Structure 1
Amino acid sequence: MTVAEALAPEPESETPQTQTQTQNENQNENQTETQTEPQTQPSRLGRIRALFSADAVPRHEIDDLAADPYVATWTRGYAEVAAASFWSNARRMPDLLRLTLRTAAGQSRWRVVTLLVLQLLSGVFQALGLLATTGVLAALFTGRPTPDRISAALPSLILIAAFTAATTLASSISSLMQSQLSPAMDAAALARIQELCTGVELVAFDQAGWFDTENAAERGAVSPHFMLQATVRILAGLATVGSAILVVGFVNPLLLPLILVTIVPRWWAAVRVARMDYKVFVRQAEGRRRVNQIAYIGQSIQQAAEVRALSMSEYLAGRYRRISRRILAENIALQRAETMSQILGDTIAGIAVAGVYIVLGLLLWKSEIPLAAGGTAVIAIGRAQSSLMQMITSVNSLFAEGLYFDGYLRFCEKAESLVPSPGTVPVPDDFEAITVEDVSFTYEGAERPALRDASLTITRGQVVALVGENGAAKTTLAKLLGRGYLPDTGTIRWDGADTALMEPNELRARIAYIGQDGARFPFTARENIRVGDWTRTDDPAIEGAAAAAGAHEFITGLPNGYATLMDRSLSWGTNVSGGQHQRINLARGFYRQGTLVIADEPTSNLDAAAEIDFYNRLRSYGGTIVMVTHRLNAVQACADHIYVLEHGRISAHGTHEELMADPAGGWYRDSYLLQQNSFTTRADSAAAGGPGRVSAPMGE
């Protein structure tokens, strides 16, 4: 079955319903996909040129997909190669070769030295082998009987065999060095990305385009692998061409320029084909991204239930098929243009080769060169042609991969500037008071500060509540306290020491931050809890933390208990409910046992009684607690001091009684009474059998 047949729609009977559906589909297709084709009838010369041009390939734009301003991050290398001339490639080659070899030497210097020496020896062996070929041909072309000719050629044949074997051995060892260097280079570059992404300040992930540059860096991280391959091919080609030039020059210097004459047409075709590939690749980037998005919707476990609930199978398959057909049509036209260009290049090159052999024949006819030397020249020219073609392809590949590697290097440079500076102030094991003094913070790209001029004090052993409506900056303040962000202005101090001057990881090790969602790591249940403090392994403490969070009972009921993988996409893995996942998140916080515990709405999937029970258990573990919650009855039951945030500012603070006694009312008093009245109304309705019954606890 061909690709076209595989993408073609299934045949259907032409019922009125089918016809209507087809008309609607075509109408929808016309609305979402526009074909851009020449509007005027081209001349005969124009039609001939179109056979060789990628610009004549039909182009289809997907109008319902918003243009991605960062798509150039992915395709920049291809676009620049498409526009670059051969000479721009050539000028950059020395720098790229040095960069590749320096990167490889960072993994194993002796392997790189061995590889270079072997390439040099390979060229020498090839040159000596070609010179020995002259001796063989000279012996075979003499007028003596055949046995005598073979005897005379035998020493040269032995030399050819020895040099060929040596060349093959050098090539094999070179391939071994390359195969050992390539994966090491990839692993080192990808590990560096992982190291930087986990070490940069959190603000990096708020920057526009961060994920696009990180994705481009991942593509560029494997470029050294391909750059090394291209470099080895270029060095091998140089060795072969160098040996051929040496031999041809020895035979007759007049033949040297003829080698280039035979390669120019194929070089033109190779460069043209490469540019057409790049241009169409750039043009199809949006359509390919759309196909991948549709495929992900249909194949992901996260959206499988929604796809079936909305009966989207025909919708997704139809859109996938339509866009795929458009891309296929472009690729077929592209292949036609590339094939025609290659045919033209090969034809002209064939004529040039014929001209070379005519010149060589004239030199032999006029006895300018011996017959044996002419035969050697023919072999050398053939080798040079093949090697030059390989070098041209490798140079294009090295140039393109070098641009991707530039993206990797730029990302590393940018990420390194966002890695926190080493701490200059020691991190205390505990504190008597945390003071926040006139702290303001603005998110990347925001016009106004999220938090402004915030000041508060947290005393050791206190339970402090941060309350306010959505968007009041409660989570922002919590992340600043947890050293997720650094304040733009103001200071956060532990017993007078500025936390901005402390080693971030050491400071965070004293803090247990329990967020609302909590990461769902694809680890076992035990490991999901242990990462709260991965530096220690304490199974009893893990189970104790799970029991304190109310997670021990359901974990032991999982297929493999604490050894159950918490990801259904993995073999023998499983998923748990939102409430159960939240309890694992709470257990992770219990296991960490931080000096400062920041609980940012970690109990939103639990009922009110379970939330109060959680904070009481957390308090019994010791430490100081900052709680962020919308349930003010939990604040009343647990908090020693309350800070009210409104529009990014702390508008009031005090105990529950003090805030409720405020004669001016205020957000806290009004919200608390509103929640209490709502709960009372629902409870009364439930007692009377009305529709306002109290729901069962979530996550239970």
Structure 2
Amino acid sequence: MADETAVTDTTPQQHDEQLRFTYSGGDSAELAQHLTGRSLSSRLPQLVRRSFALAWAVDRRSTIALLACQVLSGLMEALGLFATTAALSALIQSAHDPAHLHVALPSVLVLAGAAGLRAVLGIAIQGLSNRLGPRISREAEYRMLHAATNAEMAAYDHPGFNDRYDKADRGVEVSRDMIGQSQNLVSSLATLIAAAAVIATLAPILLPLLVLTAVPQALASVTGERVAYLATLRTFHDRRMLNMLRWHLTHKDQADQIRTDTLAPYLLDKYRASGARVDHTNDQAAWQRAKISFVGSAVSGLASALMWAGVIFLLGAGHIGAAAAGTLVFALRSAGGGLHGIVGYGSDLMRTGRYMDDWESFITEAAGQRLDRGNIVPDRPRQVVLHRVTYRYPEADHDTLFEVDFTVRQGEIVAVVGENGSGKTTLLKLLSGLNLPASGDVVWDGISTRELNPHALWKQCAVVPQEFARWPMTARENIQLGQPQPEADDAVRRAADASGADAVIATLRSGLNTLLAREWWGGQALSSGQWQRIAAARAIHRDAGLLVMDEPTSDLDARAEHRIFTGLRQLAEHRAIVLVTHNLANTIVADRIVVLESGRVSAEGTFCELTARPGLFRDLWLLQQDRANPSAQEDMRR
């Protein structure tokens, strides 16, 4: 009889790991310590300087003109306010004696001229800001792209590097607004200074009340921006998830599987769940900001009431005249507008500044991993050697390659084989100088890749990667890559003949002039196999000393694959060729075969040697031959 005693499972319950985007420095609690009123308000001058520094970098004359217009506009504001007193005084006197009316004319003309000039200056300021904004955005984007493309390839393997790039890209988007926000802030400050100068002249006792009307609103604005930014940080992961899901749901590469796997409802549920979390966080932040704004406005309103009561008291007590009181009314209104502008535009600028901080942080990070190697320009390599090379990807649990020795010489074809995850692609990246080893050395003709100029090194490399680029350019440009040979199209056709891409080009409606991008108007689409022939052609066209091919025929039919491999020997006459392939029949063309197991070289030899002795290569080879079904095998035995 079976034992029916209940057994309690004490094994900890396992949960599915949830997709979560992580990035260094993204902890909201840590950032909250720095997002305070004091720290953020002190940053405004820094942000303004950064804005005008970028403007100076892209267009000095426009920047000088903008600053000059801002200063002149502020002077006109002050002049207009001072002229107001004289004009009002003359108008009040003319009310009792019309003969004095002409006395007000000069002041009125000054007032009208100042107002007219300020209007013209405002148009000029707006035009200059509109001119500088797009230029600043392109400059910010250029600096970001320059930093990214000049970073070591290993940077992309650091967790969060791409996420920080996306955050920096947001900084690029808002950078065009920075100059406008800065000039509006400067304009508001100029208005405030002009009004404060008039108030200090007529009734200095009102200045403390003027400050009191601004401080509560400024603190409320800063605190509200802090709440909003922290909400943005808390929703960053879900917003990234929304972007990723949107891409997978709509991109043509997954469109067929979305339908055949009936996956859309499941992914849409994930999309809705992430969106709901974003909405919940944003709703909380919006309510919190509303309460903060209400308190700030209430306190500022009370201070404003006291300030206007002070004007009435001064007028009633005879400390100021009617003309001065009228001028104070205009000055206080101007000052209030200036204060509101400083608070509003300052908040906008601080928000933009935080995104620009992400931009600047990424550039700094990328610069810390920039290509900082030697300046030696290599010739066409005669021999590339790995000496006891070890490589581990950032934050990986184990080495991908461990103390690997490897050699390839000019005129030689070396095949690299191994199971998935054995380190084959990593080996190719080290050979071609894309990555530098953690220990050991990679040397070209006796010179370490650390000492070689990386750009000069890559000119001597031709790579056919597993994931090859499909550039939205013409067939010719896809092969030349902007680096034509002296023979021009003859060199392109030679490379196409060697890779089988000539058959692809023959089917294109405009030959080499055909745009290979269906997404663009007039473009023509290619199959994966056709694209792989183009990718092989571009590597051959480079005529580099080291040709590295990582599964170069994975998408090709048998005829196209045969054409490439039978032509490798001719290509190897003036090149060193390293080939990675899972189709072991293709390794017959190699002079030597190197077998990788778990990041180590386990065997080396010719095809005949490795198939004749026990080992991984022989095991894989026999497995690839074991493809017949049982009935077919029985027929073969008969």
TM range (shorter): 0.7 to 0.9
Equivalent residue in structure 2 for 1:496, among 439, 446, 467: 446
Letter in 2 for 1:366: A
Which residue of structure 2 aligns with residue 589 of structure 1?
Answer: 539
Q: For 2:567, what is the secondary structure of its paired residue?
A: helix
In structure 2, what is the Cα distance between the partners aligned to 1:525 and 1:651?
42
Distance 1:408 1:139, change over 3 A: same
Equivalent residue in structure 2 for 1:68, among 16, 21, 38: 21
In structure 1, what is the Cα distance between the partners aligned to 2:303 and 2:437?
71
Which residue of structure 2 aligns with residue 215 of structure 1?
Answer: 166
Equivalent residue in structure 1 for 2:380, among 423, 429, 449: 429
Which residue of structure 2 aligns with residue 59 of structure 1?
Answer: none
Moved more, 170-179 or 367-376: 170-179
Which residue of structure 1 aligns with residue 566 of structure 2?
Answer: 616
Which residue of structure 1 aligns with residue 146 of structure 2?
Answer: 195
Distance 1:458 1:261, change over 3 A: closer
Matched, 1:521 2:474: no
Matched, 1:184 2:154: no
Match runs of 1:239-254 below 5 Å: 239-254=190-205
Which residue of structure 1 aligns with residue 107 of structure 2?
Answer: 156
Decide whether the 8 Å contact of 1:619 with 1:625 is kept in 2.
Answer: no
In structure 1, what is the Cα distance between the partners aligned to 2:418 and 2:238?
45
Distance 1:70 1:207, change over 3 A: closer
Equivalent residue in structure 1 for 2:626, among 678, 684, 688: 678
Matched, 1:626 2:574: no
Deviation of 1:404 after TM superposition, in Å, equals 2.8
CA RMSD of aligned residues (A): 3.3
In structure 1, what is the Cα distance between the partners aligned to 2:631 and 2:501?
32
In structure 2, what is the Cα distance between the partners aligned to 1:323 and 1:218?
22
Which residue of structure 2 aligns with residue 473 of structure 1?
Answer: 423
Q: Deviations over 1:82-124 (max 9, x none)?
A: 9733322233333333333333322234433333333222222
Q: Deviations over 1:443-502 (max 9, x none)?
A: 222233222222233232112222222222222222211112122222333332333311
Q: Deviations over 1:539-569 (max 9, x none)?
A: 2322332233222233332455434433333
Letter in 1 for 2:595: V
Equivalent residue in structure 2 for 1:120, among 71, 83, 86: 71
Which residue of structure 2 aligns with residue 444 of structure 1?
Answer: 394
Decide whether the 8 Å contact of 2:375 with 2:451 is kept in 1.
Answer: yes
Matched, 1:606 2:606: no
Moved more, 401-410 or 498-507: 401-410
Decide whether the 8 Å contact of 2:133 with 2:178 is kept in 1.
Answer: no
Q: Deviations over 1:565-621 (max 9, x none)?
A: 333333333433222221121122222222221112111223456434312223323
Deviation of 1:646 after TM superposition, in Å, equals 2.2
Which residue of structure 1 aligns with residue 617 of structure 2?
Answer: 668
Decide whether the 8 Å contact of 1:79 with 1:278 is kept in 2.
Answer: no
In structure 1, what is the Cα distance between the partners aligned to 2:131 and 2:166?
26
Distance 1:118 1:616, change over 3 A: same
In structure 2, what is the Cα distance between the partners aligned to 1:661 and 1:323?
57
Which residue of structure 2 aligns with residue 87 of structure 1?
Answer: 38
How many residues align? The count is 620
Match runs of 1:248-397 below 5 Å: 248-267=199-218, 269-312=220-263, 342=293, 345-346=296-297, 348-397=299-348
Deviation of 1:651 after TM superposition, in Å, equals 2.3
Distance 1:423 1:402, change over 3 A: same
Q: For 1:625, what is the secondary structure of its paired residue?
A: strand
Distance 1:338 1:247, change over 3 A: same
In structure 2, what is the Cα distance between the partners aligned to 1:536 and 1:218?
39
Equivalent residue in structure 1 for 2:82, among 131, 151, 154: 131
- Please list every run of at least 4 consecutive aligned residues from structure 1 whose deviation after the TM superposition is greater than 6 angstroms: 686-690
In structure 1, what is the Cα distance between the partners aligned to 2:401 and 2:282?
53
Matched, 1:566 2:519: no
In structure 1, what is the Cα distance between the partners aligned to 2:270 and 2:596?
48
Distance 1:298 1:491, change over 3 A: closer
In structure 2, what is the Cα distance between the partners aligned to 1:674 and 1:101?
67
Distance 1:351 1:429, change over 3 A: closer
Deviation of 1:244 after TM superposition, in Å, equals 0.6
Letter in 2 for 1:668: F
In the alignment, structure 2 segments of 5+ residues that lack a partner are 1-15
Letter in 2 for 1:400: R
In structure 1, what is the Cα distance between the partners aligned to 2:396 and 2:287?
50
Which residue of structure 2 aligns with residue 18 of structure 1?
Answer: none
Which residue of structure 2 aligns with residue 21 of structure 1?
Answer: none
Q: For 2:253, what is the secondary structure of its paired residue?
A: coil
Which residue of structure 1 aligns with residue 609 of structure 2?
Answer: 658
Identical-residue share of aligned pairs (%): 32
Deviation of 1:126 after TM superposition, in Å, equals 0.8
In structure 1, what is the Cα distance between the partners aligned to 2:46 and 2:373?
34
Match runs of 1:406-421 below 5 Å: 406-421=357-372
In structure 1, what is the Cα distance between the partners aligned to 2:233 and 2:276?
18
Deviation of 1:137 after TM superposition, in Å, equals 0.9
Decide whether the 8 Å contact of 1:82 with 1:276 is kept in 2.
Answer: no
Distance 1:79 1:282, change over 3 A: farther
In structure 1, what is the Cα distance between the partners aligned to 2:401 and 2:302?
76
Decide whether the 8 Å contact of 1:82 with 1:278 is kept in 2.
Answer: no
Deviation of 1:627 after TM superposition, in Å, equals 1.5
In structure 1, what is the Cα distance between the partners aligned to 2:442 and 2:95?
100
Distance 1:104 1:670, change over 3 A: same
In structure 2, what is the Cα distance between the partners aligned to 1:178 and 1:316?
43
In the alignment, structure 1 segments of 5+ residues that lack a partner are 1-62, 691-700
Which residue of structure 2 aligns with residue 10 of structure 1?
Answer: none
Which residue of structure 2 aligns with residue 169 of structure 1?
Answer: 120
Distance 1:607 1:298, change over 3 A: closer
Which residue of structure 1 aligns with residue 6 of structure 2?
Answer: none
Distance 1:110 1:629, change over 3 A: same
In structure 1, what is the Cα distance between the partners aligned to 2:289 and 2:586?
71
Letter in 2 for 1:479: K
Deviation of 1:138 after TM superposition, in Å, equals 0.9
Letter in 2 for 1:139: A
Q: For 2:515, what is the secondary structure of its paired residue?
A: coil
In structure 2, what is the Cα distance between the partners aligned to 1:538 and 1:419?
34
Q: Deviations over 1:203-223 (max 9, x none)?
A: 111111111222222223355
Q: For 1:501, what is the secondary structure of its paired residue?
A: coil
Which residue of structure 1 aligns with residue 587 of structure 2?
Answer: 635
Deviation of 1:648 after TM superposition, in Å, equals 1.8
Q: For 1:456, what is the secondary structure of its paired residue?
A: strand
Which residue of structure 2 aligns with residue 22 of structure 1?
Answer: none
TM-score by structure 1 length?
0.80
Which residue of structure 1 aligns with residue 12 of structure 2?
Answer: none
Q: For 2:170, what is the secondary structure of its paired residue?
A: helix
Which residue of structure 1 aligns with residue 404 of structure 2?
Answer: 454
Which residue of structure 2 aligns with residue 25 of structure 1?
Answer: none
Distance 1:240 1:556, change over 3 A: same
Distance 1:434 1:263, change over 3 A: closer
Decide whether the 8 Å contact of 1:532 with 1:588 is kept in 2.
Answer: no
Equivalent residue in structure 1 for 2:504, among 554, 557, 560: 554
Letter in 2 for 1:464: V
Q: For 1:573, what is the secondary structure of its paired residue?
A: coil
Which residue of structure 1 aligns with residue 7 of structure 2?
Answer: none
Decide whether the 8 Å contact of 2:23 with 2:159 is kept in 1.
Answer: no
Which residue of structure 1 aligns with residue 8 of structure 2?
Answer: none
Which residue of structure 1 aligns with residue 155 of structure 2?
Answer: 204
Decide whether the 8 Å contact of 2:209 with 2:307 is kept in 1.
Answer: yes
